[in-house]
Amino acid sequence: MSRLAFRAAAAVVGVALLAVYLTAALFVADLLRVLWAARPDLPVLLALLAAAALGSAYLSYRLGTAQILANLEGDRVPRERAPDLHRRVDSLAARMDVARPKLYVTDARAPNAFAVGGGADGGALVIDRSLFRLLAPREIEAIFAHELAHLEGNDGFAIAMADGIGRSLVGIATVVALPALLALSGLAAASAWIRGRPGDRSGPFARLHRALAGALFAGFVLATLVARSRSRKREFAADDRAAEVTGDPVALARALRRIERATDPTWSFAPFSTHKRTDGAAERWLSTHPSTDERVERLRERAEAQGPTRRIPAGPSRTTAGRGRARR
């Protein structure tokens, strides 16, 4: 095929692509225009959007909680099978403003404990069996108090709602921007074909498309960062509440250190492990938990303010900030 014939064929393809994309963009724009014309009054519209965002976030939270419990590789523990465990949880729940949770013991092959649900149904406290071998009784009680503090504050629900609302807002913005995204994509593809360079995406339309898509992605990242930041703050709050209820911040600090050390790889190829430490700022921002060093330092300061206490184990030589560890 001669160069002239190729340029002519490429131009035809470019025009066809432009027609397809612009048709799709006009269709979406007309649909949005119809929906906008049929909208209720602004206060009602805002109320409907808020209800939809809240409903979507709540449904996601409830389904996620049910899925976590359904996928557990463990069993619910009745009182007659572990009366001492139930007594410990009963005692802590009585000292806190929380309904007594259901207890599950699982084999996650890593020391871990986490709480799900909450509210009137009491939620659930999930405990990995290895914690009972790893921790002393006072340390187990401190971990239980920390998780019950999450149920007391209904933290899982609050964080899920914040995350869901943020994602809903970004989703609405994406729908509104969809006609522009389609039009810019079509213009970028068509101009590249017409210039005889189908793979070139350096033109002005392609740059505008990337800028708009990048802004929407930045909104999604911002919503995620806000939710993760709130999650880290709730971890600190749960540490404080556990120390208040048990009166023993040292026990929680020791438990956190023991769990950290148990999840640290010690084999010779540890640098290639999925548990490798990192100092990356991005991972710290995206982490749902603050570093163990930060948490232990806060608990140490609290213990010193209370008076002489037992020694808190020193941390590892490298920082643990931003590690994606087991949830505690």
Q: What are phi and psi of 201, to 5 degrees?
A: -125, 40
Tell me whether residue 230 is in a domain: yes
Could you give the residue numbers annotated as active site?
147
Spatial contact of 76 and 104, defined as CB atoms under 8 Å apart: yes
How far is it, in rounded angstroms, from Cα 121 to Cα 62? 12
Q: What's the number of domains the chain is made of?
A: 1
What are the tokens at 180?
């522009």
How far is it, in rounded angstroms, from Cα 164 to Cα 51? 12
CB atoms inside a 10 Å sphere around CB 201:
16
Q: Which helix (H) or strand (E) holds 313?
A: none
**Nearest by Cα to 257 from 316, 305, 215, 309:** 316
Tell me whether residue 137 is in a domain: no
Q: Which helix (H) or strand (E) holds 85?
A: helix 83-95
Share of the chain above pLDDT 90, in %: 39
Tell me whether residue 172 is in a domain: yes
| pLDDT given for residue 165 in this prediction | 87
| pLDDT given for residue 273 in this prediction | 34
DSSP code of residue 311: P
Spatial contact of 138 and 248, defined as CB atoms under 8 Å apart: yes
| Residue given tokens 């996928």 in the structure block | 71
Tell me whether residue 228 is in a domain: yes
Mean pLDDT of 293-315: 76
| pLDDT given for residue 318 in this prediction | 37
| Residue given tokens 């504050």 in the structure block | 153
Q: Which range (40-44, 144-148, 264-268, 300-304) has the least confidence?
A: 264-268
pLDDT digits (tens, 9 = 90+) for 49-91: 889 888 888 888 888 888 888 887 778 888 888 888 899 999 9
Q: Which one has a higher pLDDT value, 313 or 10?
A: 10
Tell me whether residue 65 is in a domain: yes
CA 246 to chain centre: 28
| pLDDT given for residue 325 in this prediction | 38
| pLDDT given for residue 306 in this prediction | 78
| pLDDT given for residue 274 in this prediction | 36
Amino acid at 165: I
| pLDDT given for residue 74 in this prediction | 77
Mean pLDDT of 312-327: 42
Q: pLDDT band for 235, please (50, 70, 90 cuts).
A: very high
Where on the phi/psi map is residue 322: left (φ > 0), alpha (ψ -120 to 50), or beta?
left
Spatial contact of 132 and 140, defined as CB atoms under 8 Å apart: yes
Tell me whether residue 33 is in a domain: yes
pLDDT digits (tens, 9 = 90+) for 263-276: 765 444 433 333 34
Tell me whether residue 34 is in a domain: yes
How far is it, in rounded angstroms, from Cα 215 to Cα 221? 10
CB atoms inside a 10 Å sphere around CB 182:
21
Task: Read off the pTM.
Answer: 0.77
| pLDDT given for residue 32 in this prediction | 93
pLDDT digits (tens, 9 = 90+) for 196-228: 888 777 889 999 999 999 999 999 999 989 888
Share of the chain above pLDDT 70, in %: 86
| pLDDT given for residue 151 in this prediction | 92
Tell me whether residue 140 is in a domain: no
pLDDT digits (tens, 9 = 90+) for 247-297: 999 999 999 999 988 876 544 443 333 334 445 666 677 788 888 999 999
Mean pLDDT of 304-328: 50
CA 241 to chain centre: 22
Residue ranges making up the domain that contains 15: 1-70+150-266+273-328
